[in-house]
Each structure stands twice: as structure tokens, then as C-alpha cells.
Amino acid sequence: MDPQIIIARRVARELKSGNLVNLGIGIPTLVANYVPADLKVFFQSENGLIGTGPIPEQGLAHPTLTDAGGRPISALPGAATFDSAMSFGLIRGGHVDVTVLGGLQVDAHGLLANWMIPGKMVPGMGGAMDLVSGAKRVIVAMQHAAKGKSKIVKTCNLPLTSARPVHLVVTDMAVIGFADGKATLLETAPGVSVGEVMAVTEAELDVPDNIPEMAI
């Protein structure tokens, strides 16, 4: 299975009926595809919409109905629109139950860096800092390693997104939690051993006796 799909399917299992959820761009966007149809989840798009729906059929897009990347989307029955002050009031005010974001690095204490690479990539933080500071639960969805280098690091050397730690990291190899402020291996991906995860993880991981396989 494609690594991105493993991650998206596993993250989708974290969402509960009634949750207000904000998905970042990249792998997080894929999560919506794997939420069971009978689960009533409200997806927020931070440009001012709760109740985002799939990309409309060819010819049915409307120029004033877009996602945070400016791409056409649809709105589900019961959707609500609002201005940016309300949108970020929802985010910072703790009304968003879960946010799923991409990551460049997550450190041993759950601190996330995901908005710039000094000298290389300075796009701006957009809504990421508010989401990590304010959402009730922050989940990072990212590849475990990039070009063979662990993205789960001892200490982030890239600029932090927030001083608040994230709650869960889901990668193509493992699920890692930070319940006691320490990175703890919670699950391994199908066909991946604990040893293989440890071998490509720079941060020290707490490893409980029983590590179940990721359900996807």
C-alpha cells in the first residue's frame, strides 16, 4: 500500500462522530477520503467554511467556493460559512476537536516544526501556528523519514511551529504518542518490526512491552 494511504487510513480512525476537524494540505487532505460514510464529521476549511465536500464534478465548480489552497470544493448539506475572524476564533478558541497537519520534524517531546526551512523555503506559516496552539488535539501525519533521514528527531533544528506539543504522530511506519511528554511507540505499520522503526528513528522512543500492529 502507498505510504501516504497507510498514514491517511490510520489517521481517519482517530476521528469520532461529531468532531470538528481541520485538515492541512498534503497527506492530511487525504484523510477525508477514508472516513466511514456513517461517521458524522464536520470538516473546516480555514478560509471560512464548515461542511466541506468533495471536489465538484467538472463544470459544477463555483469561484466563491474554495479550499484554503484556492481550489474548488463543494459544501455538504448543513454547511456554514463565516469570516476569517470567526474561523480562527474556532481554531484558537479550542472549538476544533482535531487538526491533522503535515510535518518537517517532530522532536522527542512532541514539538513540531512544519513551516519553514531557513534559506530554502520561507512560504509563511499560514494557519499552522494557530492550529497547533489552539486545536483540542493535534495529529501530525507525515512520512517517518525523508531521504533516509529521520523526521522524528531528538531536537528540532528547524523553527518551531508552537511551544505546545502535538498529541500524536502517524507515519508510514509507526504511531507515536507523547502522553507523558516523552515519545512513546504505540503501534507499528503492517509488516514493520519494532527494530526497523527504532533503526530509522533519531529520537529516543519509549517502547512498551506490547506494540500492536496499526489497524488500517
CB 136 within 8 A of CB 164: no
Name the amino acid, one letter, at 80: A
Nearest one of 194, 215, 135 to 167, comparing CA atoms: 135
78 binds another protein (CB under 8 A): no
Applying CB under 8 A, among 78, 123, 148, 208 the residue interacting with another protein is 123
125 binds another protein (CB under 8 A): yes
Q: Which three cell numbers stand for residue 61?
A: 465548480
H-type alpha helices, 127-201 = 128-134, 194-199
Shortest Å distance, C-beta 206 to another protein: 24
Applying CB under 8 A, among 3, 26, 48, 53 the residue interacting with another protein is 48
CB 91 within 8 A of CB 146: no
Q: Is-catalytic flag, 57? A: no
User: Which one of 2-10, 36-44, 79-87, 201-209 is the stretch in contact with another protein (CB under 8 A)?
Assistant: 79-87
66 binds another protein (CB under 8 A): yes
User: Which one of 5-13, 119-127, 147-155, 187-195 is the stretch in contact with another protein (CB under 8 A)?
Assistant: 119-127
Applying CB under 8 A, among 2, 37, 163, 191 the residue interacting with another protein is 163
Applying CB under 8 A, among 20, 68, 170, 189 the residue interacting with another protein is 68
171 binds another protein (CB under 8 A): no
Shortest Å distance, C-beta 75 to another protein: 7
Nearer to another protein, 60 or 122 (CB): 122
Q: Report the distance separating Cα 126 and Cα 16, nearest Å.
A: 26
SS3 2: coil
Applying CB under 8 A, among 20, 134, 142, 186 the residue interacting with another protein is 134
191 binds another protein (CB under 8 A): no
Cβ neighbours of residue 122 closer than 8 Å, sequence gap 6 or more:
116
Other CB atoms within a 10 A radius of the CB of residue 28 amount to 23
Shortest Å distance, C-beta 21 to another protein: 17
| C-alpha pair distances (Å), 31 with each of 19, 110, 183, 184, 185 | 14, 21, 23, 23, 22
SS3 139: strand
Q: Which three cell numbers stand for residue 14?
A: 482517530
* Contacts to another protein by CB under 8 A: 45-49, 62-66, 68-70, 75, 81-85, 87-88, 91-92, 121-130, 133-134, 159-164
Q: Active-site positions?
A: 46
